[in-house]
Amino acid sequence: MRTFLFFLAAAAIALVLQCSVCPWLPLGGSIPDLMLIICVYLGLHQHTVGGALGAFFLGYAQDSFSGSTLGLNAFAMSLVFVVVYLTSRRLWVENTISTVVLVFLASVIKTLVVILLLAVFLTTTGVWTSTARHLLIEAVVAAALSPAIFALLAQSRRVAEAEDEE
């Protein structure tokens, strides 16, 4: 239960930071996806149905909070979770460099998937320009932030699980 609450709190904080703090960063309008970092963390360390549901709800919360088309980010997050989950089952991706690379790729994949869904179901007007401008920066920043966030999540999770066991 405490693990669930821990991820809920982490997701809430990430969502609020992403909405309130990240737009202030001097990144030329690019906003690093903190929720995605949590999703990758779930894919690496939470190999349960709860992890898959968590990834879905991370995306769904993004959709719901941004008021955009429902399911876009939910689909992308779920896909990222599956990719990371399958990768972590076949490759050793526990070190920092692997994590950074994984988050970078996950960010690129998620953006491309969202664009693809937009192109299929909605429109492509202005999407490519925006993507070209922000895709790499967002991926690089998310990758750069990932070691710190992973460490924070791991530490907090250990504390939460220790209290669960007690």
**Residue 31 DSSP SS3:** coil
Least separation in angstroms between CB 5 and another protein: 13
DSSP 43-112: HHH--SHHHHHHHHHHHHHHHHHHTS-TTHHHHHHHHHHHHHHHHHHHS---SHHHHHHHHHHHHHHHHH
Closer of 28 and 67 to another protein (Cβ): 67
DSSP character at residue 29: T
Least separation in angstroms between CB 149 and another protein: 17
Least separation in angstroms between CB 103 and another protein: 19
Closer of 83 and 100 to another protein (Cβ): 83
**Residue 157 DSSP SS3:** helix
Closer of 48 and 155 to another protein (Cβ): 48
- Contacting positions for another protein (CB under 8 A): 12-13, 15-17, 19-21, 24, 47-49, 51-53, 55-56, 59-61, 64-65, 67, 69-72, 74-75, 78-79, 81-82, 85, 117, 121-122
